[in-house]
Structure 1
């Protein structure tokens, strides 16, 4: 007697194949804007730069260029914007992929430009010492792993702290990728991770706090919810997750404002809220008509720009601040690092990524064969 056929799983439960949708050009543009916000903040908007006799400008930057300082003081929010976009893009790019494909895609995306940045920044510190501390060679080499924060080793460049948050997000999301991405599983992941992030600070378990990443979790969760809106359409549950992410985010923004000491909570929340509303418009398809090709290039510059600008840029400012107008110097530096980022993308990221992908694919094929 033939066995009865098993009923097909509901659509929402089956891992779906990637949709053949057009590239979201607006997201590329937002990424570059966020990177430029961070760069401007590091050059002209931090509390350290507004202290008399600071090692970068020698006198408070609010006296040198007050209007720029008041705008740049909010540039740190670019990091939170990065985290939201990361949640959105990772979910979009991993849908329908295997864990192996997810792993390879993250390695070739993160490491080539990062390896260059570590060596480039170390070289700048050798040539222009005195502003930032140069690490011992053994710690510089360990930085090439990108997991130095997990081993209590200092970063070659302080901006690398965000990569540790990204890596922990990838590790957690890999579990969902291994199970197969579905609407229900991603929603459940958002809820479980969000609950863990809320409980971790008061749990007394350092390992839970390490994995839950309470400082950044809700920004990534916001990005995941926004992508689900983009792929499946809006519903009350996704709006609830996004609202919870905003509520948790505004609390964390308040803590960041207190730490930065140069901006207001109201201004920070306003900027973050406007950004989320723009991302809602992207998720609902309201920006699909924007198809400017230069935005794709802009998105490619973001990661190299973020990795290379801080230590090297402030070292240059410390040498040249007395020879050029401050605004001109900052503008030239930003332009120079954008050019460097384009060169890194074309001359480092593309060829090295191809080589690494080829090698990893061959390695995984060998593992399957054996």
Structure 2
């Protein structure tokens, strides 16, 4: 038998499909800094002008024009989660599990510890309506695990931090394995499947608590968007994003119902779908490089304000409204408190978050 015929009968070894080639990307994504601040400000406006608290009167009557818009500011959290999925992939690519752990501790805890203490002191001093938590509960809050312990948050906005921690815990598995296109995509698919399976599980189910089917879709979509950004879009990644968008809507609708109860007023549900679609849309622009040309130098400073602003704004703002709303016009007080919160956020970033973060990083690097 000729050699060519004999070789034709021998099956060729199976070859693994190649991952898409990486797309060269350079420089900082300034647009993400701006989007983060936008998300934080929408949450601030929701808490100040729609959720209310502290004002001597109904916020819908105080801000009749702005209320219908501010009532959807809670969706800034969903944008935060989309950005988080993208940024965690981007910042941890090529790094070890230890590097991932150190970066998350340094990023989250220094500003958070200060905010817990500052909020507790403010509530104790002003007596505007909020009651100081017992010292043991405040100490539990310093762990950022208070929700798992059944302890009340010092500031209600901190519930999102426990969501982030659970995302980091799940993502640590991939970070330990090593980030590649296939592994991150597999992680996205497995997490999405688990989220669908546990969507109807009781809220106190430990596995459901870890999987977070009500918020997982945003993190998964964020990671898929980053794979698009790094490796170019393809049909598989587009399918993951579309799946996440559609799957997030029932949970967003449930949150909309809850916000109506919190606000004491009912607003239409259709803007929720439109705003979430806009959040996915703007992240698609980031993922396809359409916003990479944005390079305004002030945006990194804006991004630096985001986390401290989010940590400080809610309870401290309400206490200030309770103290000052009988003495100042509503819009003047609102503008003053927002400006004060932005200034406090910068001071927290500059004099606490950065120096303490550097020291903490040096200490953890020696472990």
Task: Return the TM-score normalized by structure 1.
Answer: 0.90
Given candidates 12, 16, 40, the residue that maps to 2:19 is: 12
Instruction: Tell me which structure has the larger Cα radius of gyration.
Output: 2
Kindly state the Cα deviation for residue 65 of structure 1 after the two structures are TM-superposed. 1.5
* Alpha-carbon distance change, 9 to 105 in structure 1, aligned in 2, over 3 angstroms: farther
* Alpha-carbon distance change, 350 to 360 in structure 1, aligned in 2, over 3 angstroms: same
The Cα offsets for residues 330-370 of structure 1, whole Å up to 9 and x where unpaired, read as 111111110111111110011000100111111x2xxxxxx
Is 1:348 the counterpart of 2:352? The answer is yes
Checking the alignment, whether the CA contact within 8 Å between 2:20 and 2:231 is kept in structure 1 is no
* Alpha-carbon distance change, 25 to 353 in structure 1, aligned in 2, over 3 angstroms: same
Checking the alignment, whether the CA contact within 8 Å between 1:25 and 1:290 is kept in structure 2 is yes
The match for 1:289 is 293
In the aligned structure 1, how far is the partner of 2:267 from the partner of 2:354?
38
Checking the alignment, whether the CA contact within 8 Å between 1:196 and 1:208 is kept in structure 2 is no
The match for 2:30 is 25
Kindly state the Cα deviation for residue 130 of structure 1 after the two structures are TM-superposed. 4.0
Given candidates 172, 181, 196, the residue that maps to 1:183 is: 181
Is 1:304 the counterpart of 2:308? The answer is yes
Kindly state the Cα deviation for residue 21 of structure 1 after the two structures are TM-superposed. 2.2
The match for 1:235 is 234
Kindly state the Cα deviation for residue 11 of structure 1 after the two structures are TM-superposed. 5.9
| Runs of 4+ with deviation above 4 angstroms | 7-11
Is 1:118 the counterpart of 2:123? The answer is no
Is 1:34 the counterpart of 2:29? The answer is no
What is the RMSD of the two structures over their aligned residues, measured on CA atoms? 2.0
Following superposition of structure 1 onto structure 2, how do residues 92-103 of structure 1 map, counting pairs within 5 Å? 92-103=90-101
The match for 1:129 is 127
Greater shift after overlay, 200-209 or 282-291? Answer: 200-209
Following superposition of structure 1 onto structure 2, how do residues 38-49 of structure 1 map, counting pairs within 5 Å? 38-46=43-51, 49=52
Following superposition of structure 1 onto structure 2, how do residues 305-324 of structure 1 map, counting pairs within 5 Å? 305-324=309-328
The match for 2:10 is none
Checking the alignment, whether the CA contact within 8 Å between 2:54 and 2:128 is kept in structure 1 is no
The match for 1:91 is 89
Following superposition of structure 1 onto structure 2, how do residues 261-276 of structure 1 map, counting pairs within 5 Å? 261=260, 262-276=266-280
In the aligned structure 2, how far is the partner of 1:11 from the partner of 1:114?
42
The match for 1:202 is 200
Secondary structure in structure 2 of the residue aligned to 1:56: coil
Secondary structure in structure 2 of the residue aligned to 1:291: coil
Task: Return the TM-score normalized by structure 2.
Answer: 0.91
